[in-house]
Amino acid sequence: MFVVVPALYLFALFLYLFIAPFIAALRALALVSELVWRYFRLLNGVLRLRTPEFVTIPPYRPTEELAHRNYFYGPATRDLRQLLTQGRRLYARTVADAFRAVSAAQFSAPTTHRAVSVPYGLTLCAGLGAGAALGAPLLALLLGLHALGVAVLAAGARLTALALRTADRTVMVLRGLPRGILCRSCYERVPYPQYDCPRTSCRRRHVDIRPGTFGLFRRRCACTERIPTLLMLMSRDARLSGFCVHENCGRPLNPDAGHMPELVLPLIGGRAAGKTQLMAAMVKAMQNAAENGGPAVRLADQESSDTQQLLNEILEIQGHTRPTGKALPQGHSLVRGTGRGERLIHIFDTAGERFVNREETDALRYVRAAGTFVLVLDPMAVDAFWTRLDPTGPHVDRTLASTVDPEDVFSRSVQSIRTMGTRLDKARLAVAVSKKDLLTGRPALLPDRPDDSDTIRDWLCEQLGVRNLVKTMELEFGEVRFFCTAAVADEAGRVDPSVPVLMEWCLSE
C-alpha cells in the first residue's frame, strides 16, 4: 500500500508531464492575449478617451498657448511617452497579478490537495513565465510600430506645412508682393498679416497663422474657433481682415490685401494744386466706367468709401474740395477688376503743405511701393502764367489757383523719394496740368491740343516757361507723360473725358 500509492502518484505525474506543456502554453497564450487586449484598451484611453487615469503627462494647455497644437507637433510624442510609461506599468501589473493569483489559488490556499495543486500551479507558473517572456517583446513591437507611425506622420505633417507655405509664398510672388503687403497706415511692408480670432468674445491676436505647430490647413484658436492658416485658404467671402505686424502700428489692413496685386499711386503737388479733386474724379471715372460695362470697382474699406461718397457729392454739385488735413494720409483704397484681374489700388493724397517742409516729407514713405507717380501741376501756380500768358486777357478767377511753385514741390519730392531709395529711372510720371475747365474759352492760356502729350510738353516749355522743370522730370523718370485735366463732373455725373485717359495710363502698369 505504501509503495503502491506513491508509485501510482508518480505514474500519474509522469502522464501529467505530457499534458503539462499544453496547459502551460494555454496559460501563456491567455497572458499574452490579456496583455495585448489591455494594451489596446490603454491605447484607446490615451489617444481617444483621455480621461484622467490615462493622463500621466499634463496636456498642452491651449489657454496658455493661444491655439491648439497640431497633433503631430507635440501631442503625438507626448502620447507616445504616456504609452511607454503606462505600458510598462500595465505589463508589470498584469504579470504580477497573474502570478499572485496562481500562487494564491494553488500554493497558499489551494482548494484541492497539494499533491494536485502544486504540480498544476508549477505548470501555470511556467506558462506565465513563458507568456511574460513573449509578451514583453510583443508590446515593445506594438509600441515601436506606433512610434514609427508617429514619426512618419510627423515628418509628413512638416512636409505638408512646408509645401503649403511654399505654395502660398509663390502665389504672393506671382501677385507681385514678394516683400509682402503695403500697410496703408505706416507704409511699411507686412510680410504676413497677423489676425484676430473672428469670434467676437475671443479676439485673441494670432501673430503668425501660417501652417506649422498650430495647424496645417486651419488652426484652432484656444476658444476653439477655426482660422484658415493661409491667405490662399481664405475663401472670397470669408476673408479675414489682417493687421499690420509692425511695432507701433498694428492697424488693420484691407481685407483684400494680399489676395491680389497692389498698385500704389502717389499724388504729388503743392497746396491747392488740385490733388484731392483729381483723385475724386479718377475714382468717379472708374465708377462710371464700371456702370457702363468696364472693369468692376469697389472701395476697399469703409473709410475710403465714406471719403469717396463725400467727394462724389462735391463733384456732382460742382463744389470745391476742402484742403486736405495734415494728418498722415491713409491710402484711398479700391479694388478694380474681377477674378484674376483684381487689383488693389491705393491712391495716396497727401496734404500739399507736406511737400514744402523738408522735415515732413517722410510722409512720402509710401512712394517706395510706387511705380507710377502723378504730379498735379496747377498752371496758375506758375508766375509766368500771369505775367506772360495773361497780362491783358479777360479776368481769370485767382481764388482757385495754387500758390506753391511746382518746381519747388517737384524738386523737394524727388529729393525725398530718392533718399528713400526708390529707383526713379524705373518709374513713370504722369504730369496732370490741372483745372483746364477754368480756362476753356481762353485758348491763349491752354495748349493747342490739350489731349496730346507732346503739345502739352511744348506748351509747358515755351509758353509757361517751365522748361527746366520739364527737363528735370525727363531726366529723373523713366517715362513722362503730360495730360491736361479738368477734375469736374457735369450734372449727369459724367467726369470730364481727360480724367479717364489719365487714369487708364496710370493703371496700365
Ligand X SMILES: Nc1nc2c(ncn2[C@@H]2O[C@H](COP(=O)(O)OP(=O)(O)OP(=O)(O)O)[C@@H](O)[C@H]2O)c(=O)[nH]1
23 binds Zn ion, rule: CB under 5 A: no
Q: Judged by CB under 5 A, does residue 240 bind Zn ion?
A: no
Spatial CA neighbour of 228 closest among 243, 240, 238, 218: 218
What is the SS3 assignment for 150-211? HHHHHHHHHHHHHHHHHHHHHHHHHCCCCCCEECCCCCCEECCCEEECCCCCCCCEECCCCC
Q: Which of 185, 324 has the CB closer to Mg ion?
A: 324
Q: How far is the CB of 306 from ligand X (least distance, A)?
A: 17
- Outline where DSSP puts E strands in 321-455: 332-336, 343-349, 372-377, 428-433
CB of residue 318 to Mg ion, shortest distance in Å: 17
Residues 6+ apart with CB under 8 A from 50: 59
Is residue 307 at the binding interface for Mg ion, with CB under 5 A as the rule? no
Q: How far is the CB of 223 from Zn ion (least distance, A)?
A: 3
Give the contacts of 41 (CB within 8 A, at least 6 positions apart): none
Shortest distance, position 318 Cβ to ligand X, whole Å:
8
Among 249, 296, 420, 507, binds Zn ion (CB under 5 A): 249
CB of 234 to Zn ion, least distance (A): 16
360 vs 437, beta carbon nearer ligand X = 437
Complex with ligand X: residue 177 or 281, whichever CB lies closer? 281
Residues in contact with ligand X by CB under 6 A are 269, 271-277, 320-321, 323-324, 351-352, 400, 434-435, 437-438, 486-488
Q: How far is the CB of 221 from ligand X (least distance, A)?
A: 43
**What's the CA gap between 44 and 493, in Å, rounded?**
71
208 or 405: CB nearest ligand X: 405
Segment interacting with Mg ion, rule: CB under 5 A, options 12-20, 276-284, 438-446, 464-472: 276-284
* The one-letter amino acid at 35: L
Considering only the stretches 15-23, 268-276, 366-374, 501-509, report the one whose residues sit in contact with Mg ion under the rule CB under 5 A: 268-276
Cα–Cα dist 214/211, whole Å: 7
Rounded distance between C-alpha atoms, residue 493 and residue 491, angstroms? 5
Residue among 82, 324, 361, 422 that touches Mg ion (CB under 5 A): 324
**Which residues, 6+ apart, have CB-to-CB distance to 125 below 8 Å?**
99, 102, 103
- Share of the chain residues as helix, strand and coil, in percent rounded to the nearest 5: 55, 15, 35
Measured from the CB atom, the residue of 64 and 359 that comes closer to ligand X is: 359
Q: How far is CA 169 from CA 205, 230, 264, 304, in A?
A: 22, 10, 21, 29
Chain positions 207 to 226 lying near Zn ion, rule: CB under 5 A, are 221, 223, 225
Tell me whether residue 175 or residue 412 sits nearer to Mg ion (CB atom).
412
**Least distance (Å) from ligand X to the CB of residue 476?**
21
Residues in the chain: 509
Instruction: Give the list of residues 6+ apart from residue 502 with CB closer than 8 angstroms, or none.
Output: 282, 374, 430, 432, 483, 485
Judged by beta carbon, residue 354 or residue 436, the one nearer Mg ion is 354
**Which residues of the shown chain bind Zn ion in the complex (CB under 5 A)?**
183, 185-186, 197, 199, 202, 204, 221, 223, 225, 244, 246, 249
